[in-house]
Amino acid sequence: MREDDFSINSFDDLKGKTVVLTYTAANEYYVTNKWNEEHGRPFKIIFESTRALGCEDIASGKADAMVSMIRDLEGFNKEYDAHLRIVEPAVYNSDTYYMFNKQTGAELRDTFDAALQELKDDGTLKRLSLEWLGGDFTAK
């Protein structure tokens, strides 16, 4: 939501308001729509073709909020001069999993896991997260 709007702190606070999303094939849509359905559709969901238009909808008052990953916020604010703020705690958290072929991918999986652990242990993954994503999203 807008950085000066402190009226929204959870899905419950969206009653009578509008949420803008950019596509239905993402976790943001699934989580938002599922919550909205389970609670009697208290808020309206609209769609835009780009994130830039979604940010414009919030700036203009056409929409009140969007659901996105926390790491995207800084990018929206820089790229679109969006003046958005994030609400915490997050409405949803999920883990990332890498998939390997069950029959032939065991060696690749083990090599990948070892390399990823090395990047975590020496701080490289955290440094890259700070540099490219604007925050440490490797804490877990």
**Spacing of C-alpha 36 from chain mean position:** 17
21 φ/ψ angles, rounded to the nearest 5 degrees: -130, 160
Specify whether the CB–CB gap between 55 and 82 falls below 8 A: yes
Mean pLDDT for 46-58 is 92
Indicate whether 76 pLDDT > 90. Answer: no
Specify whether the CB–CB gap between 66 and 19 falls below 8 A: yes
Res 140: pLDDT: 61
Query: The tokens 């440094």 sit on which residue?
Result: 127
Specify whether the CB–CB gap between 60 and 80 falls below 8 A: no
- The model's pLDDT over 4-46, given as tens digits with 9 standing for 90+, comes to 989 998 999 999 999 999 988 788 899 999 999 999 999 999 9
2 φ/ψ angles, rounded to the nearest 5 degrees: -60, 150
Indicate whether 95 pLDDT > 80. Answer: no
